[in-house]
Structure 1
Amino acid sequence: MTVSPADLASLLCSRLCHDMLSPVGALTNGLELLSEEQDPDMRQRCFELLEQSAHISASKLKFFRLAYGGAGHADDMVSLEEPRALIAALAGDNGRITLDWQVGGTQMARPAVKMLLNLAAIGMDALPRGGKLDIAGERGEQATELVVRASGTRIAFDPTIGEALDGSLDESRISARTAPAYMMYLLADNAGGGVQYMQQDDALILGAVLPQV
């Protein structure tokens, strides 16, 4: 079975909708509570929760637009301040993840930025109890190299995501959960590169090499 572009797009949409349900649902619940609540202190608390949910929703939408969106050309250069700010916002919204950014340069090709954002998202998902996210990368003359290390007291990583990343997962098993990782495999493979991962007791290490970007 071969995953068609339409099927992959459908799976990615399902994943994005799933990730947005929580903050958008919190907004809906907050508005319902606000309409019924009369106590000034509780109303203030509702406003704070609404503000927090709106911020998380906006952060995720901005992240998804750059990580999965098709705007722009593949050879476009993107300022690294944008992905850094997006990752920092999601880590900050989590409240339990600290970020160490060690990416060299000021710009990176759009495919490399997509890879960077997706690896960072996988790393954050692997830290349900919080931890540290180390991100390093460099754009050389021949290739762009990226490394994301998620470290914490508990690493939660679905092996099928790793198999989707390195291309060893059977396409019949591609799901909404593994579709972003599979898209990164395709991105790297089309560029003549690859993605690797290594899981340890207290860390998940993700790496990518994109020779043509």
Structure 2
Amino acid sequence: MNNTSATELAALMCSRLCHDMLSPVGALSNGLELLADEKDPEMRARCIELLEQSARISTGKLKFFRLAFGAAGGFGDAVPVEEAKGVIEALVAEARRVELNWAIDGSSLPKPAVKVMLNLAQIALDALIRGGTLDIGAELHDGNYEIVVRASGDKIAFDETIGRALEGNLAPGELSSRTAAAHMIAILAEECRGGLQYKRDDGTLVMGAVIPQPDGMIG
């Protein structure tokens, strides 16, 4: 595993958050400026519609960051599946042209499994640059949570450095805000005594994870 300090990784994750939030928050600011100067009722209605859209996107991204990167306080050791699904569905709605399918057993997942699933889902969505299908599955099997995220489409755009980050094989200098999330969940999986893997071909990207069930948690 790449020897990265906690400070460096935190800085890179902050850079990723700021990058992803800049567009919707900037749209909110611009929309408010337009609304202040606009007198035409039809144009004002349009401005308000755009403000609502930007606010919805911002809220969805913040919920994602909270669960995918943060401590997700208030959920205890497990997160309701519906909470995680809602976050991913918001990302898919923003991406458009992506069909989402679920196959998740149980009503909750441990926090580490949720973090891994959300980050793999985001990586898969980023790969579907022309739309396609996103399949997400998770089940408890022999004391391990097995997670599979598959992106299928006409074109899969996937940076192999992200794949190396998932496998814990980043070369010196390859850790960046783009690979930080994959690197983080690789560290998380290793700390849980689990692991990540991926496989990619022309039309499909499949990523998987095995996360051991935490002691004392009932599946």
TM interval, short-chain normalised = over 0.9
- The CA RMSD measured in Å over matched residues stands at 1.7
Query: What SS does the aligned partner of 2:173 have?
Result: helix
Query: What SS does the aligned partner of 1:102 have?
Result: strand
Corresponding residue number in structure 2 for 1:15: 16
Corresponding residue number in structure 2 for 1:117: 118
In the alignment, the residues of structure 2 paired with residue 4 and residue 151 of structure 1 have an alpha-carbon distance, to the nearest angstrom, of: 35
CA contact (8 A) 1:79 1:108 kept: yes
Does 2:134 match 1:133?
Answer: yes
Aligned residue type for 2:169: S
Taking the TM superposition and a 5 Å limit, the aligned residue runs for 1:40-189 are 40-72=41-73, 76-189=77-190
Quote how far apart the aligned CAs of 1:134 are: 0.3
Aligned residue type for 2:176: S
Query: What SS does the aligned partner of 1:62 have?
Result: helix
Quote how far apart the aligned CAs of 1:209 are: 0.8
State the percentage of identical aligned residues. Answer: 56
In the alignment, the residues of structure 2 paired with residue 52 and residue 96 of structure 1 have an alpha-carbon distance, to the nearest angstrom, of: 18
Change beyond 3 A, Cα 1:181–1:14 = same
Quote how far apart the aligned CAs of 1:171 are: 4.4
Give CA deviations for 1:3-50 in whole Å, capped at 9, x if unaligned.
100110110010011011111111111112222222221111111111
Equivalences, count: 213
Quote how far apart the aligned CAs of 1:72 are: 4.4
In the alignment, the residues of structure 1 paired with residue 74 and residue 84 of structure 2 have an alpha-carbon distance, to the nearest angstrom, of: 17
Quote how far apart the aligned CAs of 1:75 are: 7.6
Query: What SS does the aligned partner of 1:70 have?
Result: coil
Residue segments in structure 1 that go unaligned for 5+ positions in a row: none
Give CA deviations for 1:64-83 in whole Å, capped at 9, x if unaligned.
10110024499801111100
Q: Which moved more, 1:42-51 or 1:91-100?
A: 91-100
Corresponding residue number in structure 2 for 1:210: 211
TM-score scaled by length of structure 2 = 0.92
Quote how far apart the aligned CAs of 1:2 are: 2.6
Change beyond 3 A, Cα 1:74–1:58 = closer
CA contact (8 A) 1:164 1:178 kept: yes
Aligned residue type for 2:31: G
Q: Which moved more, 1:167-176 or 1:183-192?
A: 167-176
In the alignment, the residues of structure 1 paired with residue 202 and residue 76 of structure 2 have an alpha-carbon distance, to the nearest angstrom, of: 38
Change beyond 3 A, Cα 1:74–1:167 = farther
TM-score scaled by length of structure 1 = 0.94
Query: What SS does the aligned partner of 2:178 have?
Result: coil
Aligned residue type for 2:12: L
In the alignment, the residues of structure 1 paired with residue 196 and residue 172 of structure 2 have an alpha-carbon distance, to the nearest angstrom, of: 17
Q: Which moved more, 1:85-94 or 1:114-123?
A: 85-94
Q: Which moved more, 1:175-184 or 1:36-45?
A: 36-45
Query: What SS does the aligned partner of 1:156 have?
Result: coil
